[in-house]
A and B are shown apart, each in its own frame.
Chain A
Amino acid sequence: MRSAPADRVRELAGPGVPLGVPPDAGVPVLQVDDLSVAYQTRRGDVTAVDGVSFDLARGEFLGIVGESGCGKSTLLFAIAQLLAPPAQVTGGCVSFKGTDLTELTERQLAAIRWKELSVVMQSAMNALNPVKSVGSQFADAMRAHGVSSKREIAQRSAEVLAMVGIDGAHLKSYPHQLSGGMRQRSMIAMALLFTPDLVIMDEPTSALDVVAQRSLMVQIKELQAELGFAIIFVTHDMSLVSHFSDRLMVMYAGQVAEFGPTRRVFDAPLHPYSVGLLDAFPSIRGPQVPLTGIPGSPPDLAKLPGGCRFAPRCQKVMPACETTAPPLYQVDDIQVRCLLQAGRGPAGD
């Protein structure tokens, strides 16, 4: 059940096509700068991602949480260059190991997918080809990147499948023959076929029981420590990010609401939305308490209000919040978009 040794993964991946500068040169694996994405709709532009910036270092684990519909998947799609119309990048750029991804052709992108940058999408059912067995999809990905030996393909496929806790017999299974959690795990296995520099995962464990989840996360962390890839991990599971991510980004209505070291955000959340998120989950221990969540609903992304986007639901709302859109403030090592911090300097990078 242990992960395959790093050397073996490298050997299989073969000599990589160098893209830009090697990751060790001190350049972040990923730089996202003021990225905005809008969906063009009948009702006008839906701004699903609005001015998001962050850098990701080699070996870093970034967790992203936020309300359903706040733009997390859209952000990931934009980073991985997987957006399709009516979605459009309306501003900013994404650079991967020093290369601006938006300038690459489809062919150049295909050369790095799976091998250097892999994506586990929110819907494994959508991402997997329904008419191909899991094993043949693994084989396709490996062949596309020059692994041609049948024996190697079979061996590596079995290794990654065992790593995610699925019976090897299922290499012959089609996606519809797997359970929800098994499909998710096959996608994770596929993302780890090579030695990517960046693995993007959109709620990859939402269909897994906690035992399988913990085992999988521990293995991913071990593999990450060994191979040094960076991870962006979107989840609704606060305990997952609390235990595994180095930094945590809380998104609200397309924007970064709060961003900083995970422990700091958990121990002393600054944004009223983060506070609400951290108060809203039930426990299996202790007395039962009725929970209410955060009353109200998020703004319509096609008709954004003038002031703070969280103002209509905020417990701490002040008159200024209704009219002034808060910028990101820097509070020690945390960035937070809330007028309660108006005395602080702007977040700079």
Chain B
Amino acid sequence: MTDQAPDQAAARAAATATGPLLRTDGLTRHFRIGGGISRKTLHAVDDVSLAIGEREIVALAGESGSGKSTIARLLARIYQPTSGEIYFQGEPLSGLRSREQMLRYRSLVPMVFQDPFSSINPVFRVSHGILRGLKLHRPELSKPQRAAEAARVFETVGLTPAAEVLQRYPHELSGGQRQRVGFAQALALRPKLILADEPVSMLDVSIRIGLLNLMAELRDSQGVSILYITHDIASARYIADRLIVMYAGQIAEAGPVEDVLASPRHPYTQLLLSAVPDPRAPLSITAETDRGEPPRVIDPVPGCRFRWRCPLAIDECSHVTPQLRQLLPDHDAACHVARADAGIRAFG
């Protein structure tokens, strides 16, 4: 353990005059699973403090099941935190009470869901969702203006011809087309911050690049911030300013994307980066190739949650939970062994 400030985000926020657009403080969400005597507590998100600045794209990567979507859902107020607080433009979200306040927050911070098959209402044409959103969140627009705006955002995400695609039912669209409908809906709201949960996972590389360029362009020309949840580390590098890596409900490492990629400090980040495949190079599978294992988030015991897979684990790792601490300026890792100098390498 260290005595460094646990709330790095707040410290950093204080450094800038305006503060971050959004920050979380000790955000935690547990779920009860099983029933009767096999009742257990699943720690989906544990003590996560992060910040998203104005005009910033923050990529959130990490293990499948590590809590990324849960964080997005907490930020979108779909889930309530078990503990911890979220601040948007300095105001705690727990203070949002009225329907108007919630509506305003939802239009400023829309979410694009990971599974576009279950997040679009199958009963209505795709125009329905987006027009309804526009009516609710941008009441100043007239009916023809709403239709024009819907067509405009559909074109922007490559759903062409927009007028025709808008008339379709969700089941008449392919996976990647539905995924872009979700993104277009968020875009139409003129958001401040888009919570984009794997928004390009079903897109071919060419359309994917188009959407990534669009996200960068939204940031650069309209000052939109994006929480970009992804498994595609190369795409995170392509557009993100900062990268947060999650493991088993906790932040393992966070920092400027180039710094984290160039010198990953947490052994899990090193493992993750070493596994990023290069289509042009032959696959390297060695006897020690990590086979993965279920993250231990159900009734977890104290200590580092990565220790069973970690070649660097020391005694301390099995009883003290490592806190996120600053190793380099703006570059944090939660590991007892990680040091500021780049000497230590577990994988890769």
Q: Which A positions have Cβ atoms within 8 angstroms of B?
A: 1, 39, 41, 43, 65-69, 72-73, 122-126, 162, 165-167, 169-170, 172-173, 177-183, 185, 202-203, 206-216, 218-219, 236, 238-240, 242-244, 266, 276-278, 280-285, 288, 290-294, 297, 300
8 Å CB interface, B133-183 against A: 158, 160-161, 164, 172-177, 180
On whether the beta carbons of B272 and A242 are closer than 8 Å, the reply is no
- Which A residues lie within 8 Å of B173 (CB)? 69
In angstroms, how far is the closest chain A Cβ from the Cβ of B15? 27
Q: Are B298's CB and A125's CB within 8 A?
A: no
Contact check, B63 vs A212: say whether CB atoms are below 8 A apart. yes
| Cβ contact within 8 Å between B233 and A284 | yes
Query: Once bound together, how far apart are the Cα atoms of A203 and B114, in whole Å?
Result: 14
Q: Establish whether residues B234 and A283, one from each chain, have CB atoms under 8 Å apart when the complex forms.
A: yes
Contact of B279 among A203, A218, A239, A294 (CB under 8 A): A239
Known: A68-B203, A69-B177, A203-B202. A180 touches B158 (CB 8 A): no
CA distance A129 to B235 in the complex (A): 33
- Check B174 against A69 for contact (C-beta < 8 Å): yes
Give the residue name and chain of the B residue nearest to A266 (CB).
Answer: B279
Residue of B nearest to A182 (CB): B65
List 14 contacting pairs A-B, 8 Å CB cutoff, sorted by A.
A67-B207, A68-B202, A68-B204, A69-B177, A72-B174, A165-B294, A167-B296, A169-B33, A208-B64, A210-B275, A266-B279, A281-B205, A283-B234, A292-B213
Q: Is B271 an interface position by the 8 A CB rule?
A: yes
Whether a CB of chain A sits under 8 angstroms from the CB of B261 is yes
Write out, one digit per residue, whether chain B residues 284-308 have a CB within 8 A of any chain A CB (1) or not (0). Answer: 0100011111111010000000000
Partner pick for A1 among B35, B117, B198, B293, CB 8 A cutoff? B293
Q: Known: A239-B279, A284-B273. Contact between A209 and B237, CB under 8 A?
A: no
Q: A41-B172, A284-B234 are in contact. Are A206 and B202 (CB under 8 A)?
A: yes
User: Closest residue to A313 on the B side, CB-wise?
Assistant: B206
* Residues of the A chain whose Cβ atoms lie less than 8 Å from the Cβ of B3: none
Closest to A65 in B: B204
- Which residues from chain A contact B70 at a C-beta distance below 8 Å? 179
- What's the nearest-Cβ distance from chain A to residue B259, in Å? 13
Chain B positions within 8 Å of A281 at CB level: 205, 208-209, 234, 279
Question: Contact between A208 and B231 (Cβ–Cβ < 8 Å)?
Answer: yes
Query: In the assembled complex, which residues on chain A have CB atoms less than 8 Å from the CB atom of B38?
Result: 169, 172
Knowing A177-B33, A181-B65, the reply to whether A288 touches B238 (Cβ < 8 A) is yes
Q: Which residues of A contact B271 (CB under 8 A)?
A: 211
Q: Which residues of B contact A125 (CB under 8 A)?
A: 115, 117-118
Q: How far is the CB of B299 from chain A (nearest CB, A)?
A: 9
Complex Cα distance A141/B58, Å?
A: 42
Residue in A39, A69, A210, A297 whose CB lies within 8 Å of B277: A210
On whether the beta carbons of B174 and A68 are closer than 8 Å, the reply is: yes
Q: Which residue of B lies closest to A206 (CB)?
A: B201
- B172 lies within 8 A of A236 (CB): no
With A180-B198, A206-B201 as contacts: A293 and B118 at CB distance below 8 Å: no
Beta-carbon contact of B64 and A173 below 8 Å: no
Cβ distance A173 to chain B, nearest Cβ, rounded Å: 6
14 new A-B contacts at CB < 8 Å, known A180-B198, A215-B290, A291-B238: A43-B164, A67-B207, A68-B203, A68-B207, A165-B294, A179-B68, A212-B63, A218-B285, A218-B291, A243-B279, A277-B205, A284-B261, A293-B205, A293-B207
* Least CB distance, B38 to chain A, in whole angstroms: 7
B69: chain A residues at CB < 8 Å are 179-180
A282 to B230, CA, bound (A): 14
Q: Which of A41, A182, A277, A288 contacts B206 (CB 8 A)?
A: A277
Other-chain contact of B231, A1, A185, A209, A280 (Cβ < 8 Å): A209
Inter-chain contacts of A123 with B (CB < 8 A): 115, 117-118, 175
